[in-house]
């Protein structure tokens, strides 16, 4: 069950909270060697990243961007102890709604994820395009997935709307 979530843009003061969320997902979802890349991403000037707070603490975060007309999801994660709480579903819905509603030219969204998260994305209509064994690190495959706007309208959006309505702030 979701308790009082607030979605907002990332601030540099969120750095430690986001790194804590990242570290909580090592080694199953991320590998230790990715921490430097994630840190560099958080320190970049052109970051488009959301933070999800619960009771004043960062419990999830995730980014999105558009490149060459294709939406992309990046560095999405939920604090490991909060997996299964629907926070990840809410964060995904928020990012997809933003990509598809603010960018009418975006007809597809892609993500590179691991074999451990691929099933989560499949529930919302994402389809695996390619799988690279040990693509991220030993034992952590890279699964390239895509979601079309049409599949989001059919598979994902009704679920997100049913659970979350507008998704700017959630309180039960």
Cis, peptide link before residue 27, omega less than 30° from 0: yes
**Which pLDDT score, from 0 to 100, does residue 68 have?**
86
**Which pLDDT score, from 0 to 100, does residue 170 have?**
39
Strand partners, 140: 137
Expressed in angstroms, the distance from the first to the final Cα of the chain is 8
Residue from 82, 94, 90, 5 nearest 48 by CA: 94
Residue from 46, 45, 38, 44 nearest 18 by CA: 38
**Which pLDDT score, from 0 to 100, does residue 86 have?**
92
At 94-121, the pLDDT tens digits run 999 889 888 778 999 999 999 999 999 9
Alpha helices, H only, the chain: 15-24, 35-43, 87-102, 118-122, 149-151, 157-164
Number of domains in the chain: 1
CATH number of the domain where residue 30 is located: 3.40.630.30
User: What is the Cα–Cα distance from 157 to 172, expressed in whole angstroms?
Assistant: 20
**Which pLDDT score, from 0 to 100, does residue 163 have?**
47
- pLDDT tens sequence for the chain (172 residues): 456 899 999 999 999 999 999 999 999 999 999 999 999 999 987 778 999 999 999 999 999 999 888 999 999 999 999 999 999 999 999 999 889 888 778 999 999 999 999 999 998 889 999 999 999 999 999 999 999 988 887 765 555 554 444 444 433 3
Q: Residue 171: which H helix or E strand, with range? A: none
Task: Supply φ then ψ for residue 118, to 5 degrees.
Answer: -55, -40
The residue segments making up the domain with residue 88 are 5-170
Place of tokens 């570290």: 23
pTM for this one? 0.86
């Amino acid at each position: 069950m979701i308790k009082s979530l607030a979605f907002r843009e990332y601030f540099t003061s969120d750095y430690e909270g986001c790194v804590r969320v990242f570290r909580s997902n090592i080694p199953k979802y991320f590998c230790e060697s990715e921490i430097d890349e994630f840190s560099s991403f958080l320190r970049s000037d052109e970051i488009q990243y959301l933070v999800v707070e619960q009771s004043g603490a960062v419990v999830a975060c995730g980014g999105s961007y558009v490149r060459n007309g294709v939406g992309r999801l990046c560095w999405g994660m939920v604090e490991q102890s909060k997996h299964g709480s629907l926070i990840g579903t809410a964060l995904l819905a928020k990012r997809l709604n933003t990509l598809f509603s603010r960018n009418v030219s975006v007809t597809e969204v892609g993500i590179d994820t691991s074999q451990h998260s691929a099933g989560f994305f499949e529930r919302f209509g994402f389809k695996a395009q390619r799988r690279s064994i040990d693509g991220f690190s030993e034992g952590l495959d890279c699964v390239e997935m895509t979601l079309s706007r049409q599949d989001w309208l059919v598979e994902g959006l009704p679920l997100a709307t049913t659970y979350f309505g507008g998704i700017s702030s959630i309180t039960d």
